[in-house]
Every structure is written in C-alpha cells, then in structure tokens.
C-alpha cells in the first residue's frame, strides 16, 4: 500500500481482504483488477473489506498512482551489488515486475552475468530494504552505502514477498 495513497487514506490495512467493488463480488485478483480498472478516474468506489472476520464498507478515491522517478543506475563499486542495475520502486514498477508486498525502496532490474551480484545470487525483482542497518529508499542512497569500504555487509532484501537477511564478507 502506498503511504498516504487513496487506500491508506480510506483506512485499508495490510491483511484486509477486498471482497467487493461497488457491491459486485470479487473472487480473485483478476476480478478485482477488472472491476477497479473499468471505473473512471476522479470518482470513488465502495469497497467491501473483510477484516478480522467482519465485513466493512469504505469509499476509496480513484486516482492515478504517484509518479516516482526510476533513477536507474548500475552499481559499480566494490560491494555485493556490483553489476546490479537498480531503480526506485514505484507502484507502477511494482506492478510491471509483479512484485508482492513491495511498494517502495530500490529494486534490482538486471544483474550482469559473471558480476559479483550475480555470483551472490541477486536477481531481477529483489527489493533492497537495508544495507548495514541503513534503510534504503532511493537508488542514490544505495550508491552512497555501497561506495564505502566494509569488512562485512549486512543486507535485507524482499524476494517473492519474503524477507531475506544475509551477511557477506567485504
């Protein structure tokens, strides 16, 4: 969920199950996408939400997702991410990459064959959340964090909706 986005402002929370859009049942993500995508921007829809066993009704404004510049860069410094092409994650990019449970941060777009990042197993769609205890929200923050020489690297990524923690030698 995008912080301060329409869903957050409507009071939706992680774990809520959307069961209807304007009183029309949605049984799967494709039905939700269709019901939502066929509504005009600028208006609102009434969502039926199941939370803790109770159904709630809440209006949600329909607006375009906020634009976040990709700011694509390739990490070249001596770090575990050397050879990885990364970008700022936006809702549109998360949708394009079909990422789950990720709406902000820095995502790996590509990993050069034979690079250090490739040898360590990083892959397209990995969302970099932390490097050495520092939260990573933008590509420039990752570039700064990886430009420092370190004896070890503590990294947290999100892959397939799961958090993965790893430590690598420097």
Task: Determine, yes or no, domain membership for 66.
Answer: no
Please give the radius of gyration of the chain, using alpha carbons only, rounded to the nearest integer.
19
- CATH number, domain at 39? 2.30.42.10
Domain identity same for 162 and 114? yes
Domain identity same for 94 and 144? yes
Task: Determine, yes or no, domain membership for 33.
Answer: yes
Domain identity same for 88 and 149? yes
Tokens describing residue 2: 């995008």
Contacts of 155 (CB under 8 A, 6+ apart): 80, 128, 130, 131, 132, 165, 166, 167, 168
Which candidate, 161, 135, 149, 133, places its Cα nearest to that of 82? 149
pLDDT, residue 38, reads: 81
- pTM for the predicted model, two decimal places: 0.66
Domain identity same for 49 and 85? no
Q: What angle do CA 126, 129, 135 make, to 5 degrees?
A: 160
Give the range of the structural domain holding residue 135, as residue numbers without chain letter.
73-169
pLDDT (tens place) for every residue of the chain, 170 residues total: 566 677 778 888 888 888 988 888 888 877 777 877 788 888 888 988 999 889 999 998 888 766 778 899 999 988 999 999 999 998 778 888 888 777 778 999 999 999 999 999 999 999 999 999 999 999 999 999 998 888 899 999 999 888 999 998 86
CA distance 156 to 166: 7
Domain identity same for 133 and 93? yes
Domain identity same for 117 and 42? no
């Amino acid at each position: 969920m995008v912080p301060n986005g329409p869903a957050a402002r409507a009071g939706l929370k992680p774990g809520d199950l959307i069961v209807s859009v304007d009183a029309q049942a949605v049984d799967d993500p494709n039905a939700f996408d269709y019901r939502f995508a066929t509504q005009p921007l600028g208006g609102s829809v009434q969502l039926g939400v199941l939370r803790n066993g109770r159904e709630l009704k809440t209006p949600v404004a329909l607006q375009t997702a906020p634009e976040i510049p990709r700011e694509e860069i390739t990490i070249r410094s001596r770090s575990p991410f050397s050879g990885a092409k990364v970008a700022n994650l936006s809702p549109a990019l998360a949708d394009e990459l079909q990422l789950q449970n990720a709406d902000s941060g820095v995502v790996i777009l590509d990993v050069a064959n034979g690079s250090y990042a490739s040898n360590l197993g990083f892959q397209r769609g990995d969302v970099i959340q932390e490097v050495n205890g520092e939260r990573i929200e933008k590509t420039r923050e990752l570039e700064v964090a990886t430009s420092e020489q370190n004896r070890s690297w503590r990294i947290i990524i999100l892959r397939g909706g799961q958090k993965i923690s790893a430590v690598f030698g420097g």
